[in-house]
Amino acid sequence: AHYRLSRENQAAKAVREGDLEVYPAGFVAGGKQRMSLRQSRDASYVRHRFDDFFTPEITSQGLLLPGQWARVGRLELVELKAEHGWITLAWRQPDNPLSVANRNANAQQGAKP
């Protein structure tokens, strides 16, 4: 799948460009060789199975870390780059994450901040 990446506010957005392309190993797309009936059937099956994973649009509203790290809150996306087959993402902690973590911990214990 080929996606066009963009950053909107603090969210990442990926929009799929075109349909999924599934070919057997060693097959050259656009070449003279054609897929056999079995290869075509198998490619169609794999394409259908991957269609749920490689959705037409993927959005992210930041990063929420698991476990005890969730106390710092949702991290804001500040950088999104794709170059030479690599994706670089960077997130920033919310303002004053320790206060947020302490406030959340106190709320869980029933104490007043």
Q: Is the distance from CB of 90 to CB of 79 less than 8 angstroms?
A: yes
pLDDT at 17 (0 to 100)? 93
Show the tokens assigned to 56.
């037409």
Q: What is the pLDDT of residues 26-84, one digit of tens each?
A: 898 888 889 999 999 999 999 999 988 889 998 888 888 999 999 888 888 888 888 88
Q: Could you give the CA distance from residue 16 to residue 73 in angstroms, rounded to a whole number?
A: 29
Q: Is the pLDDT of residue 104 over 70?
A: no
Domain boundaries, the chain: 1-61, 62-113
Least confident of 10-24, 57-71, 86-100: 86-100
Whole-number pLDDT of residue 99: 58
